[in-house]
Structure formats: structure tokens, C-alpha cells
Chain A
Amino acid sequence: MTRKGLMAAVLTATMAFGGAGAAEEALRVGMITTLSGGGAGLGIDVRDGFLLAVKQAGAPIEVIVEDDQQKPDIAVQLSDKLIQAEEVDVMTGIIFSNIAMAVIPSALAQGKFYLSPNAGPSQLAGAGCHPDYFNVAWQNDNLHEAAGAYANSAGLANSFILAPNYPAGQDALTGFKRFYTGELAGELYTTLGQTDYAAEIAQIRASGADSVFFFLPGGMGISFLKQYSDSGVDMPVIGPAFSFDQGILQAVGAAALGVRNTSQWSPDLDNPTNAAFVGSFEAEYGRLPSLYASQGFDTANLLISAMEKADVADRDAFRAALREADFDSTRGAFRFNTNQHPIQDIYVREVIQDGEIFTNRIVTTALRDHGDAYAAECPME
């Protein structure tokens, strides 16, 4: 929907960095993210996680937040505005890969750094990688690859797989199949935005599969899981964390209990940074953080770590400082691959009920020190 108003949350930290409160020039961050429409929950979590880190560090960062309404054309206009009128130094925030592809290449060409807190399209990981582009979340295929690897180790040998028919959906099934070694009982693409899955569930039931892998982000996943659990089909379901994040688990309810999902982050991940993050996020916003919030938080901390080492005006030094990834990530060990995408552990989580709240806990590790399949095509070293 064309919402004219923009959510401009301008935040200037009060404390100055290192110096004695001198009027140091603040670093300007342009954040284009999705704050209205069906995908709003994701953008809100990324924004809140990012702003929390900036607030905690008291870093001289001015964040200009804009709502792309999940529309590439709006995002391109906002990007032009942020670059030309607001003269931002660094851009971040985009949730969806189609929007990322509309905005990021042009922003990079105009000499901006881009730190991705979510979208990780393969085009920007392989031959199209860029020295000023850093992905702090994952390459799109990663969590699906981990689901494939987990299916093998769980002894699943005849999986039925489905995803929406759009680029990220096709990447999801490709990623799953890259690691999965069993047979496929069926492979199905649904319509993007589809809400009724009765026909698909009937096919799953008739296929003789031993498990279901699905990638249906947002409301699609809620609909599928509720209908699946009500259909009486009783085989294990696995998927990436996107359909089991904190924002939508309460809406799915008991239908998601016990589902195994793959994620690079979990609220119970055992490291001091994460424990402090989960506690302070809950105190600040009154809800548990999702993986999107952790990604926003990590993105801001990466930026802050680079600011401590170099000035953004010295582009080479700033880039080198970003590449070091010298910050305490909520995920524990975190480093960049040659294509400046993460090398990280990916875990298998299980949906549990803790009192009234549905959440996730880690069961096992699916992939250790996992990079992505496209890094070899990237000419950077």
C-alpha cells in the first residue's frame, strides 16, 4: 500500500566516542527496511536490534530509517533520497532479496558501503561480489543447506519438499538438495502469497514421504503449519528458521511444537554477548528477539567496531576494518569469507513451549564453519 509517511526515527547518541563529548561529526546510516505490509515484522525487528546496539555503544551514529513498503520501486526512490539529499555514508536494512537487487548495486556504484542485515542473494555472493558489500546475516542458501545436511543425519531418506515459486523459493530447494542425499518423494512450487494448502497437503499424504521440508516465509508458513497439523498427517517437518522465528511462533501456536528448524542464531545460544542481547532487547521492547533482531544487532556492532579503528572518509582503512569483523557477535564465532559473507555455525533448533511463550532451543549443530557455494566465483581474495 502506498503509505506516504515515512518512519523517520532519527537517533543521535548523546555520548561521544572516545573523545570528551566533543562535537564529533556523526556517521550517517541510511536504513531502508520493510515497516508496513505483510513483511513488517521482519523490518521492525532488524531496526530495533540495530538501534539497540547503537544506543548501548553510545556511538556517534545518526540512523535515518525509511519504510520500503516491500516494494522495489519505493526502495529505489528512498535510496536516491538517502544518497543524494541525506548524504549517508553507509546503507543497511533491506529484508527482501528482490529489493536488495534493485537498490544495492546502484548504491555501491555511488560509493556507499552496504551492510546487509538480512537479504543474501546469490548474485551478490558470486561473480557479482563487491568490496564495499558486506553480508552480516547469511547467503540465502545457507539455512536450507543446513536443513538438507540435518535431514541426512536424522536418517530421513524420502523427503517431500516445497517452496513458493519465486527466486528465493527456487534457491531454497536448490540449497536443500545441494546437501540432501536421500530420495525426493515430491517437489512442489506453490504460488507466492498462497494461503490455502489443502491440495498440497493431500499430495504430501499420498506421496509416501517420510518427512517434509518447506520454505514458506511469513504468513504462508503460518497457514501451512496450521493446516498441516489439522490434517492429521504425522511426519516430521523441517525448515529454515524463517517460518519459526519469534515474531510468528505465537500465531502458529501448538501446531509448531517439536518442529526442527535451522538457524545461525537462537535465543538460548550460550555466549555472554547473546545472553546480554536477549536480556536487554526484552527489557527495551517487551518481547523476545527474533533472528532478524540478532542480525540487526550484529550489523550495528560490526559497523561500530570499524568506526573504532578507522574513519569512514578513509575508505580503504574503513573497508579493512569491516573485513576484520572484530566484534562480539550474538552468534559467537563469526568471520567473513573472501566474498565478505559469513563463515559461521548453523544450528538445528526445536520449537518448545516455555510457559505461555513458544520459542526455540538448540538441539544440535547442522554445519560447522559453513561458508557458501558461490564464494569460489567471487574474484576478491
Chain B
Amino acid sequence: MSTVLLLEQLLNGLQFGVMLFLMAAGLTLIFGVMGLINLAHGSLYMIGAFAAASVAGFTGSFLLALMAALAAAAAAGALIEVTVIRRLYARDHLDQVLATFALILILSEGTRWLFGSFPLYLDVPAWLAGPVRLPGGIDYPRYRLAVIAVGLAVAGGLAWLIAGTRLGIRIRAGEADREMIAALGVDISRLYTLVFALGAALAGLAGALVGAIQSVQVGMGEPVLILAFVVIVIGGIGSIRGAFVGALLVGLTDTAGRVFMPILMQPLVGQQQAATVGSALASVAIYVLMALVLLVRPAGLYGRA
């Protein structure tokens, strides 16, 4: 395998990881601050993609579509928090899982009712279409480079928000001691709605960005949700930094598994079987990674034991 191909696959792994981070950041933020397991996070991702596809269809503008995705997912998130999630904070995780699972069903069938069963059209904008030649002779899709840039910018922005703003101080305080910041006069229910809407907006942004190169359809959020959970378990539940590192690890491991497993299997099982066996092993690579991380650090890489 040539160096160019290896570098290209490294970029692919990075891009996949960055996309996972957008999804996992909101999930881990919500868990960290409110102690809530939100299975409906994948539905917010879907809402972002559908909002982007409809607005892009009407206006033809990709930037407007992205903004619509952010707004729609944040609004849906805030609405869900106020009407449903708020009643779940004091209850145990099983109740939360049940209620947010019900939300998945409601949001999926609601979306089907509004948009129908057939996938929607959303494409990359003309100014980001096609490949660009990178130093070293790699032809890499411009859009994927943009996704990497947006993801890194969001990661930087979140780090600044958490570490350098008043809201960030409150979020960290909320993670550390919920009763105490309520006692200090912070409007905790408003803070929770805000954090939930922020997490939802991130999921919506991920849905819109990914929707342009994938299929915008009902149920698109669930496979990504599972990967996002793997990411936050590896990174340590509640840690944004953990989500970032975990997402990159998962992205790189998954890509490396898909590329190298079939090649590694060839001498073991022969040419004929290598493709199937390699592919089967590649699909479990990230779960092996998760098991190994948990073996060494049971609370995840950046989790508090």
C-alpha cells in the first residue's frame, strides 16, 4: 500500500472521527450536566438533516440550510426538554431510556408522516463539490475537508465555551454539584434547557453536514447514535475532551479496520475468504477498542471514577 493511499485513509479516519465528535459532544454534555441518557439524540440528528434538505430544496442555499438545521434541532431540543425530559431528571436511568426510546418512535413516525417514506435529496453545494489536490498528490473531496474544518472549529468553540465563559462556569458547576448552584441562585431549569438545546443543535449540525453526502431518511440517526455512545464510553462519560479524543480514536480505528483487516486476513484464511472474514472483523474493531479501553480505564479515558 502506497504512502499516498495511507495518508488519504488517515484523512478519512480523521473526517469520520470529527463527524462522530459533533454527535457525541451533545450527548456527553447532556449526560455530564444533567445525568440524562438521551436515546433521542439520533432523532435530533435526523431533524437537522430533514430541516436542511427542505430548506436547501426551497432556497437552494446550503448555508441557509445549515442554519435551518441548527435552528430546527435546537428548537426541537428545547421543546422536548420542556415537555418531556424535564420530568425525567429525578428518575433512574431505566425510566429515561424508556421515555427517550418512546421519543425516537414518535419523532420517526412524525417525520415519516410529514415527509413520506422515501429519502430526501440534499447535496453538497457547488462551491464545495469535487476533489482538491493536496500536497503529496492526494485527491481529496473538498467537502470532507470542510467537514474536518467545521468539526475542529466546533471543538475549539466548545472548549472555549466550557473553559472561558460564564455559561461554561455554570455548566461545570452543574456537573459538580447540582443542588449547590441552584442554592446559589442560578436558574437551573433554564440552564438545563439551554444545555439541551445546545446539544441538540450540535446533533442537528452533524445531521445536516452528513446528510449532504449520505442518505436523508427516517431512521438515519440510530446507527450513528450507537457509535456516539461508543465514543462517549471510550472518552469517559461527561467529558468533552474525552468525546473529542474518543471520536478520533473510533474514526481512525474503524477506517483502519476496514482497510487493513481484509489484507491481514489473506495469509490466514486465503484470498477467497479474506474479504468476508476481514469485513466481519473490521465491524467489531471499535468494540474491541472499547473493551480494551475499559479494561485499562474503567471510567473511560477522561472519566472520573
Binding site for B on A (CB under 8 A): 1-3, 35-38, 40-41, 44, 165, 170, 187-191, 193, 195-196, 198-200, 202-203, 205-206, 218-220, 222-223, 226-227, 230-232, 247-248, 250-255
B215–A195 contact, CB under 8 A?
yes
CA gap between A226 and B130 in the complex, in Å: 11
Interface CB pairs A-B, < 8 A, 11: A36-B109, A41-B117, A188-B279, A191-B279, A195-B210, A200-B258, A206-B5, A223-B214, A230-B130, A248-B215, A253-B121
- Could you tell me the distance in whole angstroms from the C-beta of B104 to the nearest C-beta in chain A? 7
A40–B213 contact, CB under 8 A?
no
B283–A251 contact, CB under 8 A?
no
CA gap between A129 and B13 in the complex, in Å: 46
With A36-B109, A199-B9 as contacts: A227 and B213 at CB distance below 8 Å: yes
A189–B275 contact, CB under 8 A?
yes
Residue in chain A with minimal CB distance to B251: A196
A226–B123 contact, CB under 8 A?
yes
- Could you tell me the distance in whole angstroms from the C-beta of A30 to the nearest C-beta in chain B? 22
Task: For A222, give its contact among B117, B119, B210 (CB under 8 Å).
Answer: B119
CA gap between A158 and B105 in the complex, in Å: 45
A253–B276 contact, CB under 8 A?
no
Q: Does B262 contact A (CB under 8 A)?
A: yes
Give B102-130 interface residues, CB cut-off 8 Å to A: 104-105, 108-109, 112, 117-121, 123-124, 129-130
Q: What 7 new A-B contacts, CB under 8 Å, besides A44-B117, A219-B215?
A: A40-B218, A41-B118, A191-B283, A195-B215, A196-B16, A222-B217, A231-B131
A248–B118 contact, CB under 8 A?
yes
With A188-B275, A202-B5 as contacts: A37 and B219 at CB distance below 8 Å: yes
Task: For A198, give its contact among B144, B219, B276 (CB under 8 Å).
Answer: B144
- Could you tell me the distance in whole angstroms from the C-beta of A340 to the nearest C-beta in chain B? 31
With A219-B119, A248-B118 as contacts: A38 and B219 at CB distance below 8 Å: yes
B213–A248 contact, CB under 8 A?
no
Give B175-228 interface residues, CB cut-off 8 Å to A: 210, 212-220, 223-224
Task: For A251, give its contact among B112, B121, B141, B262 (CB under 8 Å).
Answer: B121
Residue in chain B with minimal CB distance to A221: B215
B129–A230 contact, CB under 8 A?
yes
Give chain A residues whose Cβ lies under 8 Å from the Cβ of B21: none
CA gap between A214 and B164 in the complex, in Å: 49
B214–A222 contact, CB under 8 A?
yes
B8–A202 contact, CB under 8 A?
yes
Give chain A residues whose Cβ lies under 8 Å from the Cβ of B255: 198-199
Give chain B residues whose Cβ lies under 8 Å from the Cβ of A255: 123
Residue in chain A with minimal CB distance to B11: A198
B275–A187 contact, CB under 8 A?
yes
Give chain A residues whose Cβ lies under 8 Å from the Cβ of B124: 226, 230
- Could you tell me the distance in whole angstroms from the C-beta of A33 to the nearest C-beta in chain B? 12
Give chain B residues whose Cβ lies under 8 Å from the Cβ of A226: 123-124, 212-214
Residue in chain A with minimal CB distance to B143: A230
With A3-B105, A38-B218, A198-B16 as contacts: A165 and B280 at CB distance below 8 Å: yes
Q: Does B12 contact A (CB under 8 A)?
A: yes
Give B255-280 interface residues, CB cut-off 8 Å to A: 255, 258-259, 262, 275-276, 278-280
Q: Does B282 contact A (CB under 8 A)?
A: yes
Give chain A residues whose Cβ lies under 8 Å from the Cβ of B118: 41, 247-248, 250-251
Residue in chain B with minimal CB distance to A198: B12
- Could you tell me the distance in whole angstroms from the C-beta of A57 to the nearest C-beta in chain B? 26
Q: Does B38 contact A (CB under 8 A)?
A: no
A206–B213 contact, CB under 8 A?
no
A165–B279 contact, CB under 8 A?
yes
With A195-B214, A248-B119 as contacts: A188 and B16 at CB distance below 8 Å: no
Q: Does B2 contact A (CB under 8 A)?
A: yes
Give chain A residues whose Cβ lies under 8 Å from the Cβ of B4: 206
Q: Does B139 contact A (CB under 8 A)?
A: yes
Q: Does B15 contact A (CB under 8 A)?
A: yes
Give chain A residues whose Cβ lies under 8 Å from the Cβ of B217: 38, 219, 222, 251
Give chain A residues whose Cβ lies under 8 Å from the Cβ of B212: 226
CA gap between A218 and B121 in the complex, in Å: 14
Residue in chain B with minimal CB distance to A164: B279
CA gap between A187 and B12 in the complex, in Å: 20
A205–B275 contact, CB under 8 A?
no
- Could you tell me the distance in whole angstroms from the C-beta of B255 to the nearest C-beta in chain A? 5
